[in-house]
Each structure stands twice: as C-alpha cells, then as structure tokens.
Amino acid sequence: SQKIEQNSEALNIQEGKTATLTCNYTNYSPAYLQWYRQDPGRGPVFLLLIRENEKEKRKERLKVTFDTTLKQSLFHITASQPADSATYLCAPGGSARQLTFGSGTQLTVLP
Amino acid sequence: EAGVTQFPSHSVIEKGQTVTLRCDPISGHDNLYWYRRVMGKEIKFLLHFVKESKQDESGMPNNRFLAERTGGTYSTLKVQPAELEDSGVYFCASSQARGNGYTFGSGTRLTVV
C-alpha cells in the first residue's frame, strides 16, 4: 500500500538557520507533490506544488525539490523565523485528484 | 476573496444521533473535497465533487456517511447514525484547476460521546 513518511515528528532549529524537512514515499509514483502548512486549530494552507518533471521550485524563502528516483521531496525554509513554526505536511498526488497526506513534521524555530 | 467556510466549527453529539456538516467552497471552484483526520492519524481523503457530481467517493468509510453538493455550490456531509470512531476533524477543500493547490477550511471538530 502507499506509504508516506515525513522525517521526525518534531524539528527544532535556531532562528536564521535553514530548516530542511523530508518526505519519502513508497509504492507510489505521484505526478506531483504539494506541501502545506498547518497551524493549530486551522486547516492546511497550500505552500508549493512541484511536478514530477521539475527538480526544484522556489517561492520567497521556500524551496522544494522532488527526486522521483529516490522517491523523496525536500522542503527548505531559509532564514527561518519564529513565525515559521507550524506543522508542515507533504501530499503527493496523482491522476486521481485526491491527495494523500503524510503525518507532518512539527517545526519550531527558536528565537 | 472569501475562503472556504465550514459550519459548525465544533459539534458534540451522542452516539446514534445524526450530524450534518456544511462546507461553502470558494465561489467558482468546481472541485470540492472532504477530508478527515481522526486522533493521531494522517488527514485522509473522503470524497471529491466536480460541480454537483461525485467524482470519487472511495474514501467514504461506510454507508453511514452521505455527502451531497446541491447545484454545485455548497456541500453537506451527513453522518447517520454517528459512532464513537467517527470523532475527528472534518476538513473541506476546494480548487478550480488541477495543479493550483487546494484551499482548506478550518475544519469541523466532531466529537461523538
């Protein structure tokens, strides 16, 4: 069955550093992969989408890579700020419109 | 633009009762999705509407769950009768075109006691 793993449930980093979150998937060949941010008591907020034919996508301080050989996506936040603290979810998607979510990584940026 | 609106934000009902959740998607978004997160688990897909038609309902747990989308606008998700394991947060999301990312509502937290 399809399986999505996100690195460590919690990640703490110092303000100003780069946070790197990992999403690995197995038994799956997604056509694209989305990353979302979720704050407590709120719904996920869409951040970035990267397609299988794209190696890298950037948006302001965010960068996503997608390696279909390794079956892995990396999500980077550069110059991290305390306001970046949240749970980040990866969600591969395919020909069906539905998304499959990982369990998320809770990021805490320490001032 | 207004976001995806879900009502109610919280609902506490007794086992065996009926509950109806409502979702108002972003105006003009043809695609509407329902997802659910039960305690300690990942967010799971329930079903997908394109306008008023059910495109995919493979994630619906059982026939106690009924979703409708009247006129291709708002959607309702009814649970009848509710069971304890139905407790969780139900999210609605909408999108216009493939590849644009989904806009989620804040969810309805359902507690069945």
Tens-place pLDDT, residues B17-30: 999 999 999 999 99
Q: How far apart are CA A40 and CA A37, in angstroms?
A: 10
Domain B5-112 sits in CATH at: 2.60.40.10
DSSP reduced 3-state for A6: strand
Confidence label for A95 from pLDDT (cuts 50, 70 and 90): low
Closest C-alpha among A40, A28, A82, A25 to residue B107: A40
So what's the pLDDT on residue B63? Answer: 95
Residue B48: closest C-alpha in chain A: A98
Confidence label for A85 from pLDDT (cuts 50, 70 and 90): very high
Q: Which of A32-36, A74-78, B71-75 has the highest mean pLDDT?
A: A74-78
Confidence label for A97 from pLDDT (cuts 50, 70 and 90): low
How, if at all, do strands B10-13 and A62-67 pair? unpaired
**Rounded mean pLDDT, B90-100:** 84
- Listed by start position, the domains of chain B span 5-112
Question: Residue B91: what are its φ and ψ, rounded to 5°?
Answer: -110, 145
So what's the pLDDT on residue B7? Answer: 97
Query: At residue B97, does pLDDT exceed 80?
Result: no
Query: Domain spanning A3-41+55-110: which CATH class is it, in words?
Result: mainly beta
Chain B environment of A97 (Cβ under 8 Å): 31, 33, 48, 55-56, 98
Q: What is the pLDDT of residues B36-52, one digit of tens each?
A: 999 888 999 999 999 99
Closest C-alpha among B38, B15, B33 to residue B93: B33
Q: What is the pLDDT of residues A4-44, one digit of tens each?
A: 899 877 899 999 999 999 999 988 888 889 999 999 999 99
Chain A environment of B59 (Cβ under 8 Å): 98
Structure tokens, A23 = 């999403």
- Listed by start position, the domains of chain A span 3-41+55-110
So what's the pLDDT on residue A11? Answer: 93
Query: At residue A89, does pLDDT exceed 90?
Result: yes
CB–CB contact A44 B33 (8 Å): no
So what's the pLDDT on residue B5? Answer: 97
Q: How far apart are the first and last CA of chain A?
A: 41
More confident residue, A98 or A90: A90
CB–CB contact B42 A102 (8 Å): yes
So what's the pLDDT on residue B98? Answer: 59
